[in-house]
Amino acid sequence: MTSIMIVEDEFIVAQDLAVSLTDMGYAICGSFESGESALRQAQNERPDLIIMDIVLKGALDGIQTAQKMHAQFNIPVIFLTAFANQALLERAKNTEPFGYLLKPFTKKELQSAIEIGLYKAEMDKKLRGSEKRFREMSDLLPSVICEVDANQRITFINKAGIELFKFSNDDVAQGVYITDLLPAEEQMKARRRFAQVLRGQSLGSTEYRMVDKTGAELLLIVNSAPIHEGDTTTGVRTSIVDITDLRKLQLRLRQAWKMEAIATLAGGVAHEFNNALSVIVGNIDLLKLEQPQNSPIEKYVDQITTSSVRMAALTNQMLAYARGGKYFLQSVSLNDFVQNALAVIRHSLNPVIKVITELQDDVAQVEIDVSQFQLILAALLSNACEAMENSGRICIKTQNTTVDETLARRNAGLNPGLYACLQVEDNGPGMDEKTRQRIFEPFFSTKSPGRGLGMAAVYGIVKNHEGWIGVDSKLDSGTVVSIYIPQTRSLQ
């Protein structure tokens, strides 16, 4: 049975209402003179409908009470009033009432208002349930769903969108516009395409560069369709897929494939070059034996010998890059390695560059070719010193690191597991993204030519130790080179 609460400060009117409602077959769950008492009872009774006079005893009038009823309990209200002025109706309208009854009213008018109010309340309940299901379903989607009005203001955005753009619910309530999420160079394209979608044109998937609330750049695929209300287009409904990490991974994979291809080529060239070089060096030695001391051609032979030695060193670098070199592995403490290697290398560094260490206690043992890793450390320190020229600071760090699935997915070639990490960090000028992406290419250099393989050899040595190397750098922000070497498995 439908239960109805009466809130009326005129006793006779309240009694007459109660009799009429009972005759109609409704259950009365209380009659109250003030909004405060009605609110207290509604919390316990939760009636299906409230008939409420606008003028009441107490601090709260009927409109204020209805606002609280709506906010706290979502109970439908039908207003009673002897006045119908516009200002009063405007105030009452804000409480979303389900009907009005002007005093005096007939029993038929009362029943009609109640039935209409109950019907509207049921439809409102179904609508709210539908909206709730839509919100919950949209929040389950991994892609962004949002709606934008004709002024490009976001009127709806799901949980994935709030998280992607780092919004709060208050941000959306206060007003966020699509143009707020676009860098200046993308705004003209976005406005043009927005207008095309409003006109009903199908654009298919469109790639945009956008930014989140913090200014971080995002790469997104956007699909849009117009929102129609009758014959009017009121806005645009959009789905957005974040491909930022995917594109970064594609670039890393492309770089890894390129490095693998170059490594294969370098290995083949190095082996052939090494064979030819062996013949040259052997014949030089024979030539020296055949020539008397102080021969006129001795100086030419010495120059050939010097060049052969340089070529042999370059060949070894190419073999190291191609993972074809020979390694003599031993289990060492990464901290001990850094201290011993630095003692040998330090004298060759620019004395105005300050070199410090931050070595974590109990860093795990690793299996490395100490001489090859000494070449790595020397190359990294030399690069940092040359970048900083006449002043600066280099910090060598060691630490134990656990690589999980998430970190591994973000860095192509890095596998999950336990690692000891060696970092060389400088506060030099850094490098742009284009330079950073090419840093491991053979013979690529921002310095004068003829310096050998450099970072390409470092890359090859690290990969041959089943490790991983990464470089983080930005212009005017220094450079950090991180090398991950698998921790030595303890023998049981």
The label of the residue with tokens 């038929």 reads: 108
Q: How far is CA 182 from CA 177, 197, 247, 358, 451, in A?
A: 10, 18, 19, 42, 44
Q: Which two tokens stand for residue 433?
A: 């993204």
pLDDT of 360? 93
CATH code assigned to 141-242: 3.30.450.20
Q: Which strand (E) or helix (H) includes residue 387?
A: helix 370-388
Of the ranges 3-17, 290-304, 408-422, 473-487, which one carries the lowest mean pLDDT score?
Answer: 290-304
Cα torsion 290, 292, 294, 297 to 10°: value is: -30
More confident residue, 159 or 288: 159
Facing residues of 359 across strands? 398
Facing residues of 355 across strands? 394
Residue 446 pLDDT grade (very low, low, confident, very high; cuts 50, 70, 90): low
CB 207 within 8 A of CB 221: yes
Residue 447 pLDDT grade (very low, low, confident, very high; cuts 50, 70, 90): low
Mean pLDDT of the chain: 84
Beta strands in 334-478 (DSSP E): 353-359, 365-368, 392-403, 417-426, 468-473
Facing residues of 34 across strands? 57
Give the 3-state secondary structure of residue 492: coil
- Burial class, 320, CB count within 10 angstroms (exposed 0-12 / middle 13-18 / buried 19+): buried
Backbone angles phi, psi at 121, to 5 degrees: -65, -40
Between CA 126 and CA 457 the distance in angstroms is: 68
pLDDT of 326? 56
Alpha carbon of residue 212 to chain centroid: 9
Beta strands in 215-329 (DSSP E): 217-229, 232-242
pLDDT of 490? 43
Does residue 492 have a pLDDT over 60? no
The pTM for the full model equals: 0.49
Question: What CATH number matches the domain at 3-137, 3.40.250.10, 3.40.50.920, 3.40.50.2300, 3.30.70.20?
Answer: 3.40.50.2300
Dihedral sign, CA of 60, 64, 66, 71? negative
Does residue 449 have a pLDDT over 70? no
Residue 491 pLDDT grade (very low, low, confident, very high; cuts 50, 70, 90): very low
pLDDT of 262? 67
Q: Which strand (E) or helix (H) includes residue 297?
A: none
Strand 144-149 to 49-53 pairing: unpaired
Between CA 60 and CA 38 the distance in angstroms is: 11
CB 113 within 8 A of CB 81: no
Give the 3-state secondary structure of residue 145: strand
pLDDT of 417? 93
**Regarding the domain delimited by 330-486, which CATH topology (the fold level of the hierarchy) does it fall under?**
Heat Shock Protein 90 (3.30.565)
Calculate mean pLDDT across residues 22-40: 90
